[in-house]
Structure 1
């Protein structure tokens, strides 16, 4: 059964694909909304509405899905540009600052977002917040041999860091890069995300964290208005 949230995600995924033109090199994001975008992209390639596209995926999940749909793929190191990247987010604040990494793919996601000429974020309305980290924890990818050390450092910075444990598998979540993830909550949320991104990434043992600062060019928000799915182009404020 299709839920209202599913309808919001579908609407915003379609709106994002409408921005794609033939001949583009695309960054293909991760997560449920991005998966809907990839499926629609595959359909438009198959029926000829789009052609001559190349995708650069941000996760094994996206790579498998895109390959199944016949979308041509290249590795990040094999392309000289990314025209447009489309990805979801776990939280978006009014300044277009993001938390990503709920799917533990934020390292590759950030590499692709930084490389893209334009980075479009697609979310449903539940992901739009006034302050980051009040609800969703900040993911921090760490080297397996350093997670306890990094956990202690994050806690000393005022965070509460927990090792992310796998579901239906014994032990912790392991990322596509073979690392572990600490999920961190800061009391009162994150009010200076740019400073915190740099501070966390300077900790020995940290590979990357899920704060995406000054990367999003556009945020498309799926909403339900009068019982119908709509897409709002969020104004940066």
Structure 2
């Protein structure tokens, strides 16, 4: 299977967890988009669900394909969120935010009874950090915030480039109007400690470490998809 076929396979398995009448959080990214396409087929076949999208991008695709949506304010408690990930470790801790939707993704996941992650096997890692960690920051005082992030990381012996994410000639802006710093630490041995340090910085809005949030990961490879459960 090529990369897209693996994403489709993972999405197919995830769809088997979706039950009629569910309130569903719908993730962002290329793997999540394959799930949306399969979900839309089921909806057209009679499956009744209501979805909360984690980004404007996902919302547009759902509306285009006829997946019924509500806001999280209209439906603040969800049964299940299905989303992709940039990295997955053996405890199903994640790095997310490569697509820039980490804040809404974390809010939706936290409002859900369960979170299922879908990914291809290239996203499996022993230790998080090879994928640059997205850190969402307030644009006000961002230079000071970046310095504070660097100092916080150094307390944990984490080094590496901190790069403000750009889009074309400008700075990338999230759906919430924030900016993202991508932190290339290479390896994050203690994700919980880093999370605490980052949240101590006033200018940090959110970060892409999703710790103890996913209960199941569906990982697709050339031989098919396998299901991992949080330990």
TM over 0.5, shorter chain: yes
Deviations 1:70-102 (CA, angstroms, capped at 9, x unpaired): 111111111142001000000001111100000
Do the aligned partners of 1:30 and 1:62 also contact (CA within 8 Å) in 2? yes
Do the aligned partners of 1:147 and 1:182 also contact (CA within 8 Å) in 2? no
Task: State yes or no: 1:163 paired with 2:164.
Answer: yes
SS in structure 1 at match of 2:171: coil
Deviation at 1:235, TM superposition (A): 4.4
Match of 1:233 in 2: 227
Q: Could you tell me which of 85, 101, 105 is aligned with 1:105?
A: 101
1:69-218 pair list within 5 angstroms: 69-133=65-129, 135-156=130-151, 157-158=153-154, 159=159, 160-166=161-167, 169-186=168-185, 189-218=187-216
Q: Could you tell me which of 57, 60, 64 is aligned with 2:56?
A: 60
> Cα–Cα, structure 1 residues 223 and 162, in superposed 2: closer, same or farther, change >3 Å?
same
C-alpha distance in structure 1 between counterparts of 2:229 and 2:42, whole Å: 29
Deviation at 1:15, TM superposition (A): 0.6
Deviation at 1:154, TM superposition (A): 1.7
> Cα–Cα, structure 1 residues 221 and 55, in superposed 2: closer, same or farther, change >3 Å?
same
Deviations 1:188-207 (CA, angstroms, capped at 9, x unpaired): x1011112112102201110
Q: Could you tell me which of 25, 28, 31 is aligned with 2:29?
A: 31
Calculate the TM-score normalised by the size of structure 2. 0.94
SS in structure 2 at match of 1:186: coil
List structure 1 segments (4+ residues) > 2 angstroms apart after TM superposition. 157-160
C-alpha distance in structure 1 between counterparts of 2:205 and 2:105, whole Å: 13
SS in structure 1 at match of 2:136: strand
C-alpha distance in structure 1 between counterparts of 2:149 and 2:204, whole Å: 11
Calculate the TM-score normalised by the size of structure 1. 0.92
C-alpha distance in structure 1 between counterparts of 2:103 and 2:12, whole Å: 26
Most deviating of 69-78 and 155-164: 155-164
RMSD: 1.2
Deviation at 1:236, TM superposition (A): 3.8
C-alpha distance in structure 1 between counterparts of 2:206 and 2:230, whole Å: 25
